Amino acid sequence: MLIDKIKKTNALACLECGKCTGVCPVSRFSRQYSPRSILTRTVREDFDSLYTEYDLWSCLTCKRCDEVCISNIKYSDLTQIVRTSAKDSGFHGKCSHSGAMELLQKTMTTEDLKQNRLGWVTDDLKISDKGDILYFVGCSPYFDIFFTDLDLSILDAAKSSIKILNRMGVTPAVMSDERCCGHDLLWNGDDENFKMLAEKNLEAVTNTGAKTILFSCAECMSAFKDLYPKYGMPVKLELKHMSQFIAEKMSDGDIELTDSNEKITYQDPCRLGRHLGIYDEPRQVLNGSDNFVEMKQNSKGSLCCGVSGWMNCDITSKGIQKERLKQAEETGAETLAVACPKCQIHLTCTKKDDVVKEKFDVEIRDISSITLERMK
């Protein structure tokens, strides 16, 4: 029963204090949006109106509200439950680019899928089919094509990560049959296709014989670590974000970074931070120089990049992104380090938006790329 699932999120314990709405980044830039109101309507089982509600799809599931809720309500989970139920009833939100991303994800559920996804692997990158360490690339090869106009160099994260591993003497396994992790589909209410992707990925991972999986994408890591087990598919391998791997190697003395005068700040991806609780390691990596600076909102209070699951990419998203870029500028940092390709895409999109009056000079780069550049 839907209501039973809702009860598990603690929703019925809501005291209507409004703290959730107070911290919600969406509410801050969209006057109509209120997590509290959506929660109230959910508890009242007012589903018919909720399913067609634009704002059901506005939630970033960034867990900012979950952090502050005094009743320990899992609002993000609640959102996902209602979306799944809406989707089952034939409703869905407005996906940007007319759903092209969603379609790419769905296409990857095809049984006999034969991708050509390793075209970007140049000769200087040593990879293998099998190995103890698996590098999970994520959808960046697709983003690289789709977002050509943004000039993202989005594959730099993967290329740099592999180079770092090669420098460590590791030839990582990279899967030619890797599929989308299913993260977005699940959060948008598509359980079924999420499960299919999860199964296929786990099967492929098993074939590599890997003991450790490394990720550059916070969402992929969150899928493997949180979501797959939640849907009955426990992953018994060691799962690490590249920032964790680098931090570890740094403390072991295997990686040494040169000093740099470059001022750097860091964008916590919600999936890596609030979802997985990884705040320190990226900072350890970037703190190699004294020039690391925090933005006004950071760590647990960090501001999301503004869009999740390619849904409702609107003026509110742009407002959040502008605010985040402003915060980065305010630190005086030259570089904004990111640990998730989505953060990179969304923040770059607003950075390059001609309509935005402020000009943001901050360079948005992945944490592995920054590391590689400074490795001794």
Partner 1 sequence: MSVNKSTNKFQEILKNDSATLSFTDHIKEKYKVGWVNPSPCMEACPAGVNVKSYISLIAAGKFHDALKVVRERNPLPGICGRICTHPCETSCNRNEIDEPVAICWLKRFIADYELKHPMPKPEKIAGKRREKIAVIGSGPAGLTTAHDLALLGYKVTIFEELSEPGGMLIAGIPSYRMPRDILKVEIDYIKDLGVEIKTNSRIKGKNAVEGLIQKGFNAVFIAIGAHQGKKLNVPGEEDFVGFLDAVTFLRGVNFDKPKKPGDKVIVIGGGNSAIDAARTAIRLNCEDVNIVYRRTRNEMPANDAEIEEAENEGVNIHYLAAPVKIIGINGKVTGMECVKMELGVPDESGRRRPIPIKGSEYVIDADVIIPAISQEPDLTFLPASHKLNISKWNTFVANESTMETNIPGVFAGGDAVTGPNTVIDAISQGHIAAESIDRFINGISQQRVQHPTRKFETEIACNLKTLPKTKRAEMPMEKVESRTTSFDEVEFGFDEAQAIAEAQRCLRCGPCDECYTCVPECDKGLAILANDEGDCLLRYPPNFPIHENQNEILQGELKSTGKGTIKFQVNPIVPTVKEKLCRGCGDCVKVCEYGACELVQIGDEVFVSRINPDICRGCGTCVAFCPSSAIQPGHFTSNWLEFKLQNIKPKTKNVVVFSCNWNGSTFDLNTGKTNVIYINAMCTGRIETSFILKALELGADGVLITGCSTEECHYEFGATKFIETYDKTKKLADMLGIADKKIGYEQIPSADTYKFIESVKGFIKQL
Distance CA 205, CA 199 (A): 10
Smallest separation, CB 323 to partner 1 (Å): 11
Distance CA 242, CA 367 (A): 8
Q: Of 30 and 291, which CB lies nearer to partner 1 in the complex structure?
A: 30
Count of positions on this chain that bind partner 1 (CB under 8 A): 38
Asked if residues 104 and 139 have their Cβ atoms less than 8 Å apart, the reply is yes
Binding string, 320-339, against partner 1, x = CB under 8 A? --x-----------------
Q: How far is CA 152 from CA 238, 268, 341, in A?
A: 30, 19, 10
Largest CA distance in the chain: 60
Residue 92 in contact with partner 1, rule: CB under 8 A: no
Distance CA 327, CA 232 (A): 40
Residue 6 in contact with partner 1, rule: CB under 8 A: no
**Binds partner 1 by CB under 8 A, chosen from 4, 111, 123, 148:** 148
Stretch that binds partner 1, among 116-124, 160-168, 238-246, 283-291 (CB under 8 A): 116-124
**Binds partner 1 by CB under 8 A, chosen from 21, 27, 312, 331:** 312
Q: At what angle do helices 75-88 and 35-43 cross, to 10 degrees?
A: 60
Q: Of 39 and 108, which CB lies nearer to partner 1 in the complex structure?
A: 108
Q: In what order do the strands lie in the sheet with 133-136?
A: 133-136, 212-215, 238-241
Residue 229 in contact with partner 1, rule: CB under 8 A: no
**Binds partner 1 by CB under 8 A, chosen from 23, 73, 82, 104:** 104
Distance CA 274, CA 9 (A): 17
**Binds partner 1 by CB under 8 A, chosen from 100, 130, 229, 361:** 100
Q: Of 70 and 145, which CB lies nearer to partner 1 in the complex structure?
A: 145
Residue 274 in contact with partner 1, rule: CB under 8 A: no
Stretch that binds partner 1, among 110-118, 195-203, 272-280, 336-344 (CB under 8 A): 110-118
Residue 52 in contact with partner 1, rule: CB under 8 A: no
Q: Of 70 and 113, which CB lies nearer to partner 1 in the complex structure?
A: 113
Q: Sort 299 into a burial class: Cβ within 10 Å, 0-12 / 13-18 / 19+.
A: middle
Q: Of 101 and 242, which CB lies nearer to partner 1 in the complex structure?
A: 101
Residue 317 in contact with partner 1, rule: CB under 8 A: yes
**Number of helical H runs and strand E runs in the chain:** 19, 6
Residue 355 in contact with partner 1, rule: CB under 8 A: yes
Helix (H), strand (E) at residue 27: helix 25-29
**Binds partner 1 by CB under 8 A, chosen from 46, 238, 290, 353:** 353
Smallest separation, CB 128 to partner 1 (Å): 21
Cβ count within 10 A of residue 170: 19
Asked if residues 304 and 76 have their Cβ atoms less than 8 Å apart, the reply is no
The two tokens of residue 355 are 């309509």
Q: Of 210 and 349, which CB lies nearer to partner 1 in the complex structure?
A: 349
Smallest separation, CB 354 to partner 1 (Å): 6
Smallest separation, CB 318 to partner 1 (Å): 5
Q: Return the bridge partners of 336, or none.
A: 265, 364
Helix (H), strand (E) at residue 155: none
Angle (CA) 68-298-289 rounded to 5° is 155
Residue 314 in contact with partner 1, rule: CB under 8 A: yes
Stretch that binds partner 1, among 96-104, 128-136, 235-243, 329-337 (CB under 8 A): 96-104
Q: Of 242 and 313, which CB lies nearer to partner 1 in the complex structure?
A: 313
Q: How far is CA 354 from CA 191, 264, 330, 336, 348, in A?
A: 38, 25, 20, 20, 12
Smallest separation, CB 19 to partner 1 (Å): 26
Q: Where does this chain bind partner 1 (CB under 8 A)?
A: 54, 94-100, 103-104, 106-108, 113-117, 119, 141-142, 145-146, 148, 312-315, 317-319, 322, 349, 353-357
